[in-house]
Structure 1
Amino acid sequence: MMQVPGYTGIVVARFFLGFAEAPFFPGMIFLVSKWYKRDELALRIALVTCGSFLSSAFGSLLASAILHGMQDKLGQAAWRWLFFIEGGVTILVAICAIFVLPDFPHNTRWITPEERALAISRLVEDGYSEADELGKQTTMQGVRDAVSDWKVWWFSVAAMFQLVGQSFFIYFPTLCATLGYDTTVTLLLCAPPWVFATIVAFILTWYSDKKQMRYKCFVISNAFGILAFTISALTMNKATRYISLFLMAQTLTGYMLLLGWISNIFAREPAKRAIAIALMNALGQTGGIIGSYVWPLKWGPTYRYSYVICIAALGVSTGMFGGMYLYLKHLNERIERNERNAKDVNEIQEISFKYMV
């Protein structure tokens, strides 16, 4: 991307970059879900995903420094140096990760037998099947089970609306530029909201794990996001709009909670869980494609219509996930009634898996 001569080259390079990057996020979520219990997932996912928050914060600071100081160095434009430096750091981290990241509890070679037994037993106690943990279910069985489960498609469509509502993420520097400052100051102003979002993400996901609540914490995050969009749509006051950017940035916490939630719901079958997470991410990312058309330049600098669309999208996703919450709550209540009525221990064990809502 540093060396391509024009638009076509950029598009081709971006295609192959996206092709390589696509499995990363669902793969990361699946790997985390294979090591931690259901009431530990949201915070762990936040610990990993907040890297994107911090990259948005410190990436803006780094971009500001590079664009300000690297113009025409060695005959290259500053934007080319941006790709070279940030891409080089990424490649270095990826090489180191090869030697650090584990596989799964049952086949990671560098943990002790005692650590392996502990990791597997923790997951079995949390409702995972020991046979499944050893990988007995085939990939094709997982595909069949995932695509035939309506909950997977419901989550995918709702996630699509959620990502439309979060499409501001891509245009955050543009929205910050509406405050009227130059490029350097604008990029510096982008950092504090993402630091704030990181703090909120840790607090909200920790609370979600502790209280074993997913949907209610998700609603809190979306509610503040809708408030932020409303403020930005109604005023051009610099201080007020900048405060709204803080509330806007934390909206991405809701998506972290969704990732933990879907891992909880499909906790029993690893192959199905992997496909479900991948499907939700893949289909949900169509919301990012739609979101790229939500912020046309002609709607700036107020972007009032863009904010209204995001409010509507978050409202739809909140409502859809609310329906899923009520459905799962109903299932849990039915399971509890069956447990009270069941007399056979084997029957109790068979029906006692509850959904975290």
Structure 2
Amino acid sequence: MQTDLGLHGNQLNYITTAWTCGYVIGQIPSNMLITRIPVMELIWSALTMVLASAKNFNTLIVVRFFVGLAESTFYSAIQYVIGSWYKGDELAKRSCIFHTASSIGPMVSGFLQSGAYTGLHGKGGLAGWRWLFIIDGVITIPIAIFGFWAMPDLPTTTRPSFLYSQKQIDIAIKRMESVGRKPPAKFTTKKVLGFFTSWHIWVMVPIYVLFNNGSGAQTTNSMTFWLQSFNKPGHTVYTVPQLNTYPLGGYAVAISMTLVYAWTSDGIGARWPPIVFAATWNMINSIVLAATPLYTNITRRWVFYYMSGCMSGLSGIILAWTNELTGHDNEKRSFVIACCNTFAYVVQAWLPIVIFPQIKQPKVFKGNVTNAAIDFALVCAAFLALFLQTRDRKAAAFRRAEHESDHPPDLKSEDVYKGDVEVDAVEAEPVLLL
């Protein structure tokens, strides 16, 4: 695409930024309104196929913006829906299994790119990259249509169908009640302003922003530029299909570690250990890449490029933690999750252009050093969230002890332990136990 359309400088970065801007604009409105996701997926399919007709940079910028806008309804809304059906010891697994699609997708796309270039390049007068956009759009249409029947709403709003019986829906409602996960209520100005008086939005949103902008996605892209740099005029070391498939090992690492983090987190009943482990690992990984020369220690560079996928699996863990911490207020839960994704991409709209500019690839020393600093900040933020969570738990336990001393407990007391959330009769807000 870069060659066919004569792209130069940082124009590939700007095309990604256009998508990010559309994605950011649609995040919070779509999650608060729970837009019908299959409709937006159909629009996404059509716009993706339109990209195949692009003749210049300006067309790509405009269409990619609207592709991002259509895509904005999906990820945070799905994570919110998952958090509306599953309890604490189930949530990380479901969130992370869904998140693996963000790694499986690029892997499949890489092989599709290779196949489209090898088998379709020049067919019908279209370049291979144009065929790829057409294939992506065609694949998505039947899946989006199926979503009209398969995609559930919330337990309290889902109607019985051939997929969900009323008995199953009733069980789901009781399960969420047992852990203090509240059903939808009305958004009011007072309620929304109240979200900003809680530490959850000021800590969990920055945690997600740090994860999203300190993970290895840009490093994986750097591997493609690094491999391409071996090719010289008249001497090709890596073919186009190889450039598309060799970096996919990083996504394989991401998928594996995502599942490891999910089962570990649910198994030990805590979200912070995988976050601290992955961020520390990626911090070391980024420092090694920054310090390793481009064309010596080739094997080491391959290994550490692949290991950059170690932190990509944290999204489901962080959003599962957010779902649990804010489960006592459905609207707050929806808003905070949307803000996590929104502000992560607000930063992503400009940060890669600054620290991973195309003209500085593949060395991008500044990008790797910045990644290491972001990962260190993520470790600190995770410990801050743990401290605040533990403080709230102890405060609730103290108030409960005071309440019990004045009101001897009986079987009808409202102060009971429910699943993974402790509900305090004195203070309505539930506190998640580690």
Whether TM-score is above 0.5 comes out as yes
Offset of 1:251 from its aligned partner?
Answer: 0.7
For the Cα contact (< 8 Å) 2:52–2:130, is it kept in 1?
Answer: yes
Of the three residues 297, 302, 314, the one matched with 1:242 is 302
1:124 lines up with 2:177 in the alignment:
yes
Offset of 1:356 from its aligned partner?
Answer: 4.7
Range with bigger deviation, 184-193 or 19-28: 184-193
Of the three residues 272, 275, 290, the one matched with 1:215 is 272
TM-score by length of 1: 0.91
Alignment of 1:27-66 (within 5 A): 27-66=77-116
Match of 2:284 in 1: 227
Alignment of 1:308-347 (within 5 A): 308-343=369-404, 344=407, 345-346=413-414
For the Cα contact (< 8 Å) 1:163–1:284, is it kept in 2?
Answer: yes
Q: Deviations over 1:73-125 (max 9, x none)?
A: 10111111111111221222111111111111123222222212211111111
1:100 lines up with 2:137 in the alignment:
no
Q: Deviations over 1:275-302 (max 9, x none)?
A: 1111121112122113322212343332
Offset of 1:142 from its aligned partner?
Answer: 4.8
Determine helix, strand or coil for the equivalent of 1:107. coil
For 1:48, the aligned partner's letter is F
Alignment of 1:137-286 (within 5 A): 137-138=186-187, 140=189, 142-166=191-215, 168-170=216-218, 172-179=220-227, 180=230, 181-235=238-292, 236=294, 237-286=297-346
Give the aligned length: 352
Give me the whole-angstrom Cα distance separating, in 1, the residues matched to 2:380 and 2:327: 24
Give me the whole-angstrom Cα distance separating, in 1, the residues matched to 2:187 and 2:66: 29
Range with bigger deviation, 292-301 or 41-50: 292-301
Offset of 1:308 from its aligned partner?
Answer: 0.2
Give me the whole-angstrom Cα distance separating, in 2, the residues matched to 1:298 and 1:74: 33
TM-score by length of 2: 0.76
User: Higher helix fraction: Structure 1 or Structure 2?
Assistant: 1
Offset of 1:146 from its aligned partner?
Answer: 2.4
Q: Deviations over 1:111-160 (max 9, x none)?
A: 222212211111111122xxx42x33436565333244342133223332
For the Cα contact (< 8 Å) 2:96–2:315, is it kept in 1?
Answer: no
Range with bigger deviation, 307-316 or 60-69: 60-69
Determine helix, strand or coil for the equivalent of 1:302. coil
For the Cα contact (< 8 Å) 1:53–1:195, is it kept in 2?
Answer: yes
For the Cα contact (< 8 Å) 1:265–1:356, is it kept in 2?
Answer: no
Cα RMSD of the aligned pairs, angstroms, is 2.1
Match of 2:431 in 1: 354
Give me the whole-angstrom Cα distance separating, in 1, the residues matched to 2:426 and 2:300: 54
Give me the whole-angstrom Cα distance separating, in 1, the residues matched to 2:68 and 2:311: 24
Q: Deviations over 1:243-271 (max 9, x none)?
A: 11232112111222111111111011111
For 1:19, the aligned partner's letter is L
Offset of 1:233 from its aligned partner?
Answer: 1.5
Offset of 1:17 from its aligned partner?
Answer: 0.9
Determine helix, strand or coil for the equivalent of 1:35. coil
Give me the whole-angstrom Cα distance separating, in 1, the residues matched to 2:218 and 2:140: 19
Offset of 1:54 from its aligned partner?
Answer: 0.6
Give me the whole-angstrom Cα distance separating, in 1, the residues matched to 2:158 and 2:193: 28
Determine helix, strand or coil for the equivalent of 1:127. coil
Q: Deviations over 1:151-207 (max 9, x none)?
A: 2133223332332212x4156244244144333222221222212221211111111
Larger radius of gyration: 2
Determine helix, strand or coil for the equivalent of 1:292. helix
List alignment gaps of at least 5 residues for structure 1: none
For the Cα contact (< 8 Å) 1:264–1:356, is it kept in 2?
Answer: no
List alignment gaps of at least 5 residues for structure 2: 1-50, 231-237, 408-412, 416-423
Give me the whole-angstrom Cα distance separating, in 2, the residues matched to 1:252 and 1:242: 18
Of the three residues 81, 84, 90, the one matched with 2:140 is 90
For the Cα contact (< 8 Å) 1:176–1:242, is it kept in 2?
Answer: no
Determine helix, strand or coil for the equivalent of 2:180. coil
Determine helix, strand or coil for the equivalent of 1:23. coil
Match of 1:69 in 2: 119
Determine helix, strand or coil for the equivalent of 2:350. helix
**Structure 1 vs Structure 2: percent identity of aligned residues?**
20
1:19 lines up with 2:69 in the alignment:
yes
Offset of 1:2 from its aligned partner?
Answer: 0.9
Give me the whole-angstrom Cα distance separating, in 1, the residues matched to 2:190 and 2:312: 32
Give me the whole-angstrom Cα distance separating, in 2, the residues matched to 1:62 and 1:184: 10
Give me the whole-angstrom Cα distance separating, in 1, the residues matched to 2:110 and 2:61: 23
Give me the whole-angstrom Cα distance separating, in 1, the residues matched to 2:143 and 2:84: 23
Give me the whole-angstrom Cα distance separating, in 1, the residues matched to 2:150 and 2:403: 47
